[in-house]
Amino acid sequence: MTGRLPHAARSDARENRARVLAAARAVFGEEGLGAPMREVARHAGVGPATLYRHFPTKQALIAEAFAEQRRACRAIVRDALADPDPWHGFRGLVERICELHALSRGFADAFMAAFPEAMDFAVDRERTLRAVAELARRAQRSGRLRSGFVVDDLILMLMAHRGVQDLPHDARLQASRRFAAYVVEAFHAVPEMETPAPLPPAPRLGHEPFQP
């Protein structure tokens, strides 16, 4: 009997930790990183003491809760840099980063340093910006990217993209894809005889569609 008690305690601890992480992803994902820790505890169904026992600081909770998104961000950068077509790699990076941000307000906050304590994400952000700079140089040499593009344009784009988070959850991804398509088109140095790619469908945002 006594031999099973430590095992049961460890199992309970693992379950509580998993519930806290799931709650953090849900709460921070919808409300952003300004959501209080007590809201995460309430959502997880645990007391504040249990939450702080597993994650003594909000920074530690954020870093662990969004570990999967950080890995996804690194994969996006890696794939873009490995693409033999620099314009295709650049375009894919823009589209996939937008999608990653659309799926979680909390991850977007951390990536954009809107939350001062999320310093662990600075490495991901710098890695992405270095990749964009390298891809931009290659794509500009190929003649596919506008010569005036600078890395700050990506930051400007992501700042504008944050408005997607204000949409109903079901519309965010669709809106993000259309936004990214417009941005890619704006960055593209389109040859005179090349037809722009069609845009993704527009999301329904609560009004009757206007037909020109």
Tokens of 175: 């809106």
Which residues, 6+ apart, have CB-to-CB distance to 81 below 8 Å?
Answer: 89, 131, 134, 135
**126 in the same domain as 169:** yes
**93 in the same domain as 14:** no
pLDDT-above-70 percentage for the chain: 84
- The predicted model scores a pTM of 0.81
Task: Tokens 């722009």: give the residue.
Answer: 196
**73 in the same domain as 58:** no
Burial class (CB in 10 A: 0-12, 13-18, 19+), 26: middle
- Looking at residues 103-128, what average pLDDT do you find? 80
**121 in the same domain as 49:** no
Range with the poorest average pLDDT among 2-6, 43-47, 68-72, 128-132: 2-6
In whole angstroms, what is the distance from residue 99 CA to residue 88 CA? 16
Tokens of 146: 């506008």
- Looking at residues 69-90, what average pLDDT do you find? 94
- Looking at residues 89-105, what average pLDDT do you find? 94
Please answer whether residues 65 and 28 qualify as being in contact, where contact means their C-beta atoms are separated by less than 8 angstroms. Answer: yes
pLDDT of residue 80: 95
Q: Where are the beta strands (DSSP E) in 30-167?
A: none
Q: Which residues constitute the domain of residue 160? A: 67-187
| 94 assigned to some structural domain | yes
- When divided into structural domains, the chain yields a total of 2
* CATH number of the domain within which 134 lies: 1.10.357.10
Asked if the model's pLDDT at residue 19 lies above 50, the reply is yes
| 180 assigned to some structural domain | yes
pLDDT grade for 208, boundaries at 50, 70 and 90:
low
**79 in the same domain as 33:** no
